[in-house]
Amino acid sequence: MSELLARHRAVMPSWLPLYYESPLEIVSGKGARVTDADGNTYLDFFTGIVTNMLGYDVAEVREAVERQIAKGVVHTSTLYLIRSQVELAEKIARLSGIPDAKVFFTNSGTEANETALLLATYARGSDEVLAMRGSYHGRSFGTVAVTGNKAWKNSSLSPLNVHYLHGTDHASPAFRGLTEQEYIDVCVADLREVLDTTAPNVACLIAEPVQGVGGFAMPPDGLYAAYKEVLDEHGILFVSDEVQTGWGRTGTSFFGIGNHGVTPDAMTFAKGLGNGFAVGGVVARGDLMDGLKALGVATFGGNPVSMAAAGATLDYVLEHDLQGNALRQGATVTEGLRALRELACVKDVRGKGLMFAIEMVDPATGEPSSPLAGKVLEATRERGLLVGKGGVHGNVLRMAPPLTLSSEEAAEGRDILLDAVRAVAGQA
Task: Compute the distance between CA of residue 34 and CA of residue 360 in angstroms, rounded to an integer.
Answer: 26
Per-residue pLDDT, 308: 98
Per-residue pLDDT, 154: 85
User: pLDDT exceeding 90 applies to what percent of the chain?
Assistant: 98
pLDDT in tens, 4-49: 999 999 999 999 999 999 999 999 999 999 999 999 999 999 999 9
Task: Compute the distance between CA of residue 121 and CA of residue 139 in angstroms, rounded to an integer.
Answer: 19
**Across residues 376-401, what is the average pLDDT?**
97
- Radius of gyration of the chain measured on its C-alpha atoms: 21
Per-residue pLDDT, 1: 66
DSSP string, 67-128: HHHHTT-S---TTS--HHHHHHHHHHHHHH--TTEEEEEESSHHHHHHHHHHHHHHHHT--E
Query: What band does 239 get if pLDDT is binned at 50, 70 and 90?
Result: very high
**Across residues 185-203, what is the average pLDDT?**
96
pLDDT in tens, 396-415: 999 999 999 999 999 999 99
Backbone angles phi, psi at 138, to 5 degrees: 140, 180
**Across residues 245-253, what is the average pLDDT?**
97
DSSP state of 135: -
Residue 156 has pLDDT above 90, yes or no: no
- Those residues whose C-beta lies under 8 Å from the C-beta of residue 94, and which sit 6 or more positions away, are 101
Q: What is the mean pLDDT of the chain?
A: 97
Residue 155 has pLDDT above 90, yes or no: no
DSSP string, 252-289: S-SSGGGGGT---SEEEE-GGGGTTS--EEEEEEHHHH
Q: Which domains does the chain have, with CATH numbers?
A: 63-319 (3.40.640.10), 325-398+423-428 (3.90.1150.10)
Query: What band does 2 get if pLDDT is binned at 50, 70 and 90?
Result: confident
Task: Compute the distance between CA of residue 321 and CA of residue 328 in angstroms, rounded to an integer.
Answer: 11
Specify which residues 388 forms β-bridges with.
398
**Across residues 378-394, what is the average pLDDT?**
97
pLDDT in tens, 64-112: 999 999 999 999 999 999 999 999 999 999 999 999 999 999 999 999 9
User: pLDDT exceeding 70 applies to what percent of the chain?
Assistant: 100
**Across residues 284-292, what is the average pLDDT?**
98
Residue 374 has pLDDT above 90, yes or no: yes
- Those residues whose C-beta lies under 8 Å from the C-beta of residue 229, and which sit 6 or more positions away, are none
